[in-house]
């Protein structure tokens, strides 16, 4: 039975979750295939909830900046969808992949069209299309995150971007393969630079919870202007629910019951449409690249508050 149901009770809920996470034996490991992320202590934990009016609560390391990584894919998707609309879906699908996020397996069978915007292949397509329309996809993303979070100091981590570029052969292979099918517009080296810079954005739980608020407000930005129609905001939330946590999306929906998007930096954002947005961070990852403590914390949040999409 839910014991909490209104935004004014978020603070005690967060405090209770943080206490429970503290008592839980540590598990998971930081992402080691990106050397710049490998040194993070997997036991760190922070969690923030942002209400629709921009009020934000947090516990633990909720003000500690971390590498957003694949969480940024939600925002580039929104920015591109706002510009080109449904034409985007001719170049990237909306179905779960059932394969690891950096898999090449399905691309050949499906003529260079990625299954969804959140696996690496799909995110490369979205970044490519946003770059074509703006001339600087990574810069457009950063400007958006600064505006929505209210934090003008958000920045790319050049060390992380360089680390990803030095170990980015799989992403290069994905981009070249899709280019061979005509599904990439820009030169692959240009696209990869934009993509690695996009993923290197450093932000805190507070920043990302606030920046995600437009999805809880059905497409309305923090300043009251509309970025997306209600229908397109729904589309993004739906794809987050079915595809946002790599090949663990079914388990995440079962446990948490919210649209969510994870990143290998240990962060996860989640949306309660019409109520609030959340971001949780803990660098210890499971074998599918999702934060172990982060998923557990979101599971407890929906259990304690009764807030989910089901």
Active site residues: 70, 73, 195, 246, 264
Residue 109: exposure state from Cβ atoms within 10 A (0-12, 13-18, ≥19): exposed
**CA nearest to 243, candidates 122, 159, 135:** 122
Residue 278: beta bridge partners?
A: 49, 270
Are residues 7 and 213 in contact, defined by beta-carbon separation less than 8 angstroms? no
Are residues 59 and 14 in contact, defined by beta-carbon separation less than 8 angstroms? yes
Residue with tokens 């172990």: 292
Residue with tokens 């925002």: 75
Are residues 209 and 50 in contact, defined by beta-carbon separation less than 8 angstroms? yes
Taking CA atoms, 30 is separated from 106, 114, 207, in Å, by: 27, 27, 21
How far is 92 from 88, CA to CA, in rounded Å? 7
How far is 70 from 263, CA to CA, in rounded Å? 4
E strands present in the chain: 46-51, 56-60, 66-67, 155-156, 201-203, 260-262, 267-272, 276-281
Residue with tokens 């598990």: 27
How far is 207 from 145, CA to CA, in rounded Å? 8
Length of the chain: 310
How far is 165 from 163, CA to CA, in rounded Å? 5
Q: What is the DSSP secondary structure assignment for residue 92, as one 8-state letter?
A: S
How far is 17 from 21, CA to CA, in rounded Å? 6
């Amino acid at each position: 039975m839910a014991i909490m149901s209104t935004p004014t009770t978020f603070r005690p809920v967060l405090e209770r979750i943080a206490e429970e996470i503290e008592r839980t034996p540590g598990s998971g490991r930081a992402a080691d295939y990106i050397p710049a992320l490998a040194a993070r202590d997997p036991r760190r934990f922070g969690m923030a909830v942002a209400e629709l009016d921009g009020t934000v609560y947090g516990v633990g390391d909720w003000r500690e900046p971390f590498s957003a990584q694949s969480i940024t894919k939600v925002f580039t998707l929104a920015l591109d969808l706002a510009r080109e609309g449904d034409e985007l879906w001719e170049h990237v699908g909306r179905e779960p992949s059932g394969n690891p996020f950096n898999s090449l397996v399905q691309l050949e069978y499906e003529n260079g069209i990625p299954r969804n915007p959140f696996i690496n292949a799909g995110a490369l397509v979205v970044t490519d299309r946003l770059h074509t329309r703006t001339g600087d996809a990574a810069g457009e993303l950063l400007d958006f995150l600064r505006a929505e979070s209210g934090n003008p100091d958000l920045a790319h981590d050049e060390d992380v971007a360089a680390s990803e570029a030095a170990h980015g052969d799989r992403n290069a292979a994905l981009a070249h393969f899709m280019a061979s099918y005509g599904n990439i517009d820009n030169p692959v080296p240009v696209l990869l630079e934009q993509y690695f810079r996009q993923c290197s954005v450093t932000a805190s739980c507070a920043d990302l919870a606030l920046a995600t608020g437009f999805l809880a407000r059905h497409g309305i930005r923090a300043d009251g202007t509309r970025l997306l129609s209600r229908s397109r905001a729904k589309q993004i939330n739906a794809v987050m629910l079915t595809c946002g946590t790599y090949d663990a999306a079914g388990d995440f929906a079962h446990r948490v019951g919210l649209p969510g998007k994870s990143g290998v930096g240990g962060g996860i954002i989640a949306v309660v449409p019409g109520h609030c947005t959340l971001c949780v961070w803990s660098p210890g990852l499971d074998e599918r690249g999702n934060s172990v403590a982060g998923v557990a914390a979101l599971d407890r949040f929906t259990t304690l508050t009764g807030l989910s999409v089901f």
